[in-house]
Chains A and B, each alone.
Chain A
Amino acid sequence: MDLSYTLVFTVFPYLCLTTFVVGHSYRYVTDRYAWNARSSQLLDNKSLRWGTVLFHLGIILTFLGHAGGLLIPQKYYDLFGITSQMHLAIAHWMGEVVGIAALAGCLLLLRRRLTNDRVRAAGSVNDLITLGGLTLVVAGGVYNVFFGNYNVLDSVAPWIRGIVFFSPEPELMRPVPLGFKIHVTLAWALLGFSPFSRLVHIWSAPVFYFFRNPILFRRNPELTRKVVDSRS
């Protein structure tokens, strides 16, 4: 076994995943005050619109695509009559569409962050790293979809499943072209960085809003105690 492969394709991913899990927990407990999307729409509305919509739609679909395509083994797709050929074709075409959307969004947002005086003044270096990192990862992904021309189902996908299910096999990455190697490594790095950025907002996507009462009341817990007391 080659040490460099173990380091890059086993140790590094686990390092990033650990930071990801521990970082999120730590921040949620100690720094909930800053856990939000840090919207900059108030400062500049017009230039945000297309960038953010394209980016989010693109990235969320990309996210789902990656989860579905990489984490679920091909044999389950075969059960539904989706051959690996079809799977690759779907991944290819969908990837091109949502990847381009996400990339265009990234570039629009990046331009806004760099050129709009107000957004720049209110933003932080962290915001730039986040967006810059995302742009690199997305650009790498789009490059691979267009020019990679490589079957990831038998190499990258089982390697990622290996990491997720704690039986890493770095050797699976040996035949993979450089473009893919760079893409996955940057993606792990971004994952490790994300708890310390505004990306934490992803995990607060407001799903409960769809089920709750419109008007919320909260009672001072001290008073609740008192009511109980007076009845007893």
Chain B
Amino acid sequence: MKIRAQYAMVLNLDKCIGCHTCSIPCKNVWTNRDGAEYMWFNNVECKPGIGYPKKWENQEIHKGGWHLNGDTLQLKAGGRIHKGLNIFHNPDLPVIDDYYEPWNYDYARLIESPKRKHQPSVRPHSRLTGKPIDLKWGPNWEDDLAGLGETGAGDANFKNLEIATYLQFRNVFMFWLPRLCEHCLNPACVASCPSGALYKREEDGIVLVDQERCRGWRYCVSGCPYKKVYFNWKTGRAEKCIFCYPRVEAGLTTLCAHSCVGRIRYVGVLLYDLDRIAETAAAPSDQDVYPAHLDILLDPNDPDIERAAASQGIAPNMLAAAKKSPVYALIKDWRLALPLHPEFRTLPMVWYVPPLSPVSRQIDPSQEADAIDRMRIPITYLANLLTAGDEAPVRMALQRLAAVRRYMRTQRVEKQADTGVLDAVGLDEETVAKIYRLLALARLEDRFVLPTKSVVQDEDSYARQGCCGFGEAL
């Protein structure tokens, strides 16, 4: 057993209000530059929809991630030989129109316009060419289901569902899916990079692009099944979410998580067994990946694991954070959070609590048990999104969420706590109190449990005062 620590995030989709606040500080701090203006390290998609870039989930088109060939795990786009032969023209690279052509407005016209009969107007112009463009697509083009009739049928999560039914107005459903790099345990982007520029940080699992080693072969961009590596068209290099490592090292959470208005994001430390990554990612069927993934996440409160972790060099403060990890509780203890598209086999580390939704038909209270199956958002859809189509874990997570609500309602409003609902889903009152505290109250100190970067003891920090930062550049 080789124990590694990893930052992970959980997003509670049940509470995401689709405000896009998370995307803004990220954009302002990390991608507010020419060549990166079209990149959204964090974006919020409205589901159903084909997303950003278009149809990113459909790997028959994009060829991202891994697949099983017989029982060996291979990059879906092809191995090293294939990459070597196609390096001059990557057959699977999305074009910028799949994201969107970035644009700007010439606001000066509003001020400089001479006096005329009509108000001056500003037209969008392309940030690539400077020429006027007609906007036909953009980031969030599908927000609030805009254009669902046109794009909805392209949503890969409708697999095994009658799409036409759900595109009818009376059956329509909607929720938001905020997305960022998953900082995977088995990252396809890293395996795809011919230069070895992408790497995973051993001490915390953050996946980064070494900007001085990136030679612009652009295979990471097509290799990532979540399409979370972007190609800077101006500098010719790849860029991706950095999990705000300068903040995280200082014990602060990421910008997207910190700014989240719905307080839906949880960030913490997980321990996992590195030796079992290969077998986990090569689990025999797509639906086996999620349980196998759960299996390699180690319990930091198990004394054996703790001892092993300490002896293998996991820093004491990292270990302490792992023991209080909100993400471990949500993912493993309570099984409320599920991975995004585990069938891509990269073992993603940003997980999602599935959203409850209104029950679509009036039901008899005696039937409340199967209310979950009558919710507007079909379980099958969520299962296609989160568990490679396996409905049981999704149903369990939703039932537990519903049970917590029901229990709290009986306790607070009816003054007669109904523990029966808890027994049915395998929870006890103590656990529910914790879940309630974490999900409903969602206090800052409970949501984010991050250690500061380990500091080397022999370092003379006084001597280093004023030695880093922007220096002459500012």
Contacts and interface: CB of A to CB of B under 8 A. Distances in A.
Contacts of A44: 95
**Of residues B88, B90, B196, B458, which shows the largest number of chain A Cβ atoms within 10 Å of its Cβ?**
B88
B339 interface: no
B203 A37 contact: no
B200 A48 contact: no
B233 A214 contact: no
Given A56-B88, A217-B201, A226 B457 contact: yes
Contacts of B95: 41-45
Contact of A212 (B94, B196, B198, B454): B196
Given A220-B201, A223-B203, A204 B190 contact: no
A41 B217 CA distance: 10
Given A32-B212, A209-B195, A215-B191, A37 B217 contact: yes
A125 interface: no
B199 A209 contact: no
A209 B82 CA distance: 12
Interface in B221-256: 221, 231, 233-237
A38 B236 contact: yes
Contacts, number: 133
B301 to A, nearest CB: 23
B364 interface: no
Interface stretch (B127-135, B323-331, B437-445): B127-135
Given A33-B212, A41-B218, A209-B83, A218 B201 contact: yes
Interface residues of B, number: 52
B128 A41 contact: no
A42 B93 contact: yes
A218 B233 contact: no
Given A36-B214, A36-B216, A226 B456 contact: yes
B131 A117 contact: yes
B80 interface: yes
B84 A37 contact: no
Contacts of B106: none
B194 interface: yes
A79 interface: no
A71 to B, nearest CB: 25
Contact of A204 (B186, B215, B315, B458): B215
A40 interface: yes
A42 B239 CA distance: 14
B313 A227 contact: yes
26 contacts: A33-B235, A36-B215, A36-B235, A37-B217, A37-B236, A39-B216, A39-B236, A41-B93, A41-B95, A43-B96, A49-B89, A55-B88, A117-B129, A121-B130, A122-B128, A201-B216, A206-B84, A209-B80, A215-B186, A215-B187, A219-B203, A223-B315, A223-B454, A225-B456, A229-B457, A230-B313
Interface of A: 32-45, 48-49, 52-53, 55-57, 117-118, 120-122, 198, 201, 204, 206, 208-210, 212, 214-220, 222-223, 225-227, 229-230
